[in-house]
């Protein structure tokens, strides 16, 4: 009996992790199998199919035309029917998986999606540093197209990534506030976060050196 219990501790988590990974790969249309790690405390709860936390890592997936560097999902507690799942060859859960999600985008990817998704203003380059975005664009000054850069924080509002420029410069020279206001009047630097292959919402954003991370929640993950 002791040997059977030890064996179950050894192979059961790996089997469930493998099922979760394969089902997510198939149901989310991924080109790479995600990394899945599940845990339970106390450990013997695994034998009953109870997991109190988990982590899923997606490397370079593509969702609705957006290609993040990585996506991390931190799962809450959930239960599976391990022996029935093994017997039927499919993962059977007692409750849907949910948790937190973090989507990391590079400068290059943010620049790419902004250049095709933001129509009110041309986006030529994007830099991320010091908690702010710097967007290279162009503005009409006395009928002439002038290259400008605008800088400011980024946030999430109403399911959109929103850039709120606070200062602008032309040819490297800061522009007066009234000139900046006139140049940026009527522009919209928002980009909708939509058509995700799972239920969830983006509620916040965090900037790093050269990256931006969208943070939020995910629910009803399709793992069965």
Q: Is the pLDDT of residue 129 over 80?
A: yes
Domain coverage including residue 7 = 2-102
Say if 117 falls within a structural domain. Answer: no
* Tens-digit pLDDT profile for residues 89-123: 778 887 778 899 999 999 888 888 777 666 667 77
Radius of gyration of the chain from its Cα atoms, rounded to whole angstroms: 23
Say if 92 falls within a structural domain. Answer: yes
Say if 193 falls within a structural domain. Answer: no
Say if 131 falls within a structural domain. Answer: no
Question: 54: which residues sit within 8 A by CB, 6+ positions away?
Answer: 20, 36, 37, 38, 39, 74, 75, 78, 97, 99
Give the model's pLDDT for residue 117: 60
- Structural contact between residues 50 and 77, judged by C-beta atoms closer than 8 angstroms: yes
Say if 184 falls within a structural domain. Answer: no
Say if 113 falls within a structural domain. Answer: no
The average confidence (pLDDT) of the chain is 81
Say if 149 falls within a structural domain. Answer: no
Burial (0-12, 13-18, 19+ Cβ within 10 Å), 122: middle
CA 36, distance to chain mean position in Å, is 16
Say if 20 falls within a structural domain. Answer: yes
* Tens-digit pLDDT profile for residues 24-34: 888 888 889 99
Mean pLDDT confidence for 130-157: 81
Mean pLDDT confidence for 130-156: 81
* Tens-digit pLDDT profile for residues 203-215: 888 988 889 898 9
**How many domains, in total, are found in the chain?**
1
């Amino acid at each position: 009996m002791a040997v059977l219990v030890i064996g179950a501790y050894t192979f059961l988590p790996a089997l469930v992790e493998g099922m979760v990974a394969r089902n997510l790969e198939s149901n989310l249309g991924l080109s790479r199998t995600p990394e899945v790690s599940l845990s339970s405390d106390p450990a013997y709860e695994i034998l009953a199919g109870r997991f109190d936390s988990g982590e899923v890592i997606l490397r370079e997936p593509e969702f609705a035309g957006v290609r993040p560097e990585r996506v991390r999902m931190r799962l809450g507690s959930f239960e599976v029917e391990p022996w029935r799942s093994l017997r039927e060859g499919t993962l059977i859960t007692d409750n849907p998986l949910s948790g937190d999600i973090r989507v990391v985008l590079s400068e290059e990817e943010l620049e790419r999606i902004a250049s095709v998704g933001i129509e009110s203003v041309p986006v030529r380059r994007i830099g991320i540093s010091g908690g702010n975005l710097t967007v290279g664009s162009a503005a009409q000054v006395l009928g002439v197209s002038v290259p400008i850069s605008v800088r400011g924080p980024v946030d999430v509002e109403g399911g959109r990534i929103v850039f709120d420029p606070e200062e602008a410069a032309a040819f490297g020279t800061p522009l007066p506030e009234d000139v900046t206001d006139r140049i940026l009047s009527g522009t919209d630097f928002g980009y909708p976060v939509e058509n995700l292959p799972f239920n969830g919402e983006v509620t916040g954003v965090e900037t790093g050196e050269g990256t931006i991370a969208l943070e939020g929640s995910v629910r009803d993950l399709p793992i069965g």
